[in-house]
Amino acid sequence: MSRSRFLFGLLVLIVQVALGQLPKISGRVYHDKNQNGIYDSGDKALKGILVSNGKDVVATNTKGIYKTKTLENNPLFIIKPKGYVSPRTPQNNLKFYYLFQELTNKKSFDFPLYINKEKDKVKIALLGDPQSDVIDDIHHVNKLVTEELGKNKPDLIIPLGDLSFDNLNIFKPLSESLGLVGVPVFYVIGNHDLNFGEQELSNRDKTFEASFGPSYYAFEYGNNLFLVLNNNFPINNREYIGKFDEDQLTFVSHITKKFATKYNSIKVFAHIPLEYTSNKKEFISLMNPFDKVLIAAGHTHTQYHSYFQRNQKPAVHQLVGGAVCGAWWQGAHDIHGVPFAMMYDGTPKGYWFLETEDKDYHLSYKVSGAPIEKQMYIWVPENKEWDTEMNILNEPYVYANVFAGGESTKVEVSFDGTTWQSMEYYQGVAPELKRFYLLQELGRYKGQKLSKMPKPTTKSKHLWRLKISENLSKGMHLIRVRVKDDLLKLQAEDVRVFYKQ
């Protein structure tokens, strides 16, 4: 080799390292008919399947071959196509990726796929912040989520981040629990799931990646396009902001362009809500190819709907989906040993179902341990003779805390089952939360090993009230509350007994 050629090769290598790039790699995507993980006789090469390094997105050719380059610390992964699925782990995570550490051992990486029967309509369980710290919390998840979904299986499970409470060792038992449901689980990363203190941004998710794969990716399922993102951006050894990094935005741009002609809508899952994400405008602009955009997030331990307007396109709909753990597993424990841990807007612990196909979707909230019909708390004053310390909570109002409601929701109340009155949308502290805190401050839970909740100040975004008429006759009344929201496709009714003295 001549000296000039050697120096040129050395220069190329230095430039690659400086740019965080390693030499090109390739591989094949194929239908693995005998599911042995080897491309052999009888297997079919798959054309047009997308593969990504976390920034670039390339498609396989007629022989199922892709070619791309690796990026420093980034996994290599496949965009799951409709009707196919990657091999599953024992915890029902999909092995659709190669970690960066694996990419340094060789230059060829194949992706076997199996046939997967998928309906156009897909039912997904969305799990806001499980926030597990110790094994006790996993026991709670078992009772509140895994056992319920094991009897009422969705097609997919998507936890919306904050899987842990900074204890990343909890990933394993959590995934073992959710894996028992027997359906694929697609994980979202949260701020409490990060590796803080890393010098490189690309290492913020190395423990998450080792357990679940890339922290942002896309996949097709049924007649749907899904996008899982990571907007947890560390700024020092402990703090973070909501932000999408540049490589990730480039990846999103490629995905939206490649699928723009195939899908009318897109469903996005991220941990931090858009209003707390610094470059949300840039992200929303990348959604322009789609008429309908749904974003599901967690993070706040409250739940609400919000909308982001777009020019000549329907608004982006965001669901902030509360928390499986309620408020960080705080408060007294019930008879089953599970903390009451009501969310900070008065919502009981639970999770959401997203039922979707390309052109439409429906969201419904499921209170853990209650029938699906339980969609609200109705609060009325109760004058007590024995537990008189509770009387301080009494107000001359009927309250309706509609867990899945929003500002577009119409809530009505009837005291006689015939005449209906509209209730006022009211942003205030949920009365159930006030009672919970009062009981705690009165020492009613002393002797229990518990995590105390702070004084409630969060104003609920799904609370309605009506002042009780002084002309209402004395005695017992069966109050009915009905709820309707055409925009959210929400309809519910419940009753409460009120005794006027």
For residue 252, the model assigns a pLDDT of 99
22: nearest Cα among 65, 63, 48, 54: 54
Q: What is the pLDDT of residues 185-218, one digit of tens each?
A: 999 999 999 999 887 888 899 999 999 999 999 9
The model's pLDDT over 230-246, given as tens digits with 9 standing for 90+, comes to 999 999 988 999 999 99
Cα–Cα distance for residue pair 423/69, rounded to 1 Å: 59
Which pLDDT value is given to residue 149?
99
pLDDT at 23: 65
| Model pLDDT, residue 6 | 42
Domain 376-500 -> CATH class? mainly beta
Topology of domain 26-115 in CATH is Immunoglobulin-like (2.60.40)
Residue 349: CB partners within 8 Å, gap ≥ 6?
144, 323, 324, 325, 326, 341, 342, 343, 367, 368
Return the number of other C-beta atoms located less than 10 Å from residue 109's C-beta: 20
Bridge partners, 217 (sequence order): 228
> For position 22, what pLDDT does the model report?
55
**pLDDT at residue number 9:** 44
In 3D space, the residue among 267, 253, 178, 163 whose CA is nearest the CA of residue 215 turns out to be 163
Distance CA 264, CA 225 (A): 9
Supply the pTM of this predicted model: 0.93
Q: What is the pLDDT of residue 3?
A: 47
Structure tokens at 111: 């992706």
Q: What pLDDT, on a 0 to 100 scale, did the predictor assign at position 132?
A: 98
Quote the Cα angle for 138-144-150, to 5°: 95
Query: Cα(475)–Cα(498) distance, rounded to whole angstroms?
Result: 8
Residues 442, 392: contact at Cβ < 8 Å?
no
Please give the CATH number for the structural domain made up of 122-367: 3.60.21.10
Residues linked to residue 492 through DSSP beta bridges, in sequence order: 483
For 264-292, b where at least 16 C-beta lie within 10 A, e where not — what string?
ebbbbbbbbbbeebebbeebbebbebbeb
Please, are residues 161 and 193 in contact by the beta-carbon 8 Å criterion?
Answer: yes
Domain with CATH 2.60.40.10 in the chain: 26-115
Domain ranges in the chain with CATH number 3.60.21.10: 122-367
Q: Which residue ranges of the chain lie beneath pLDDT 50?
A: 1-14, 17-21
- DSSP letter, residue 457: -
* Residues 406 and 460: beta-carbon distance below 8 Å: no
CA distance 93 to 474: 59
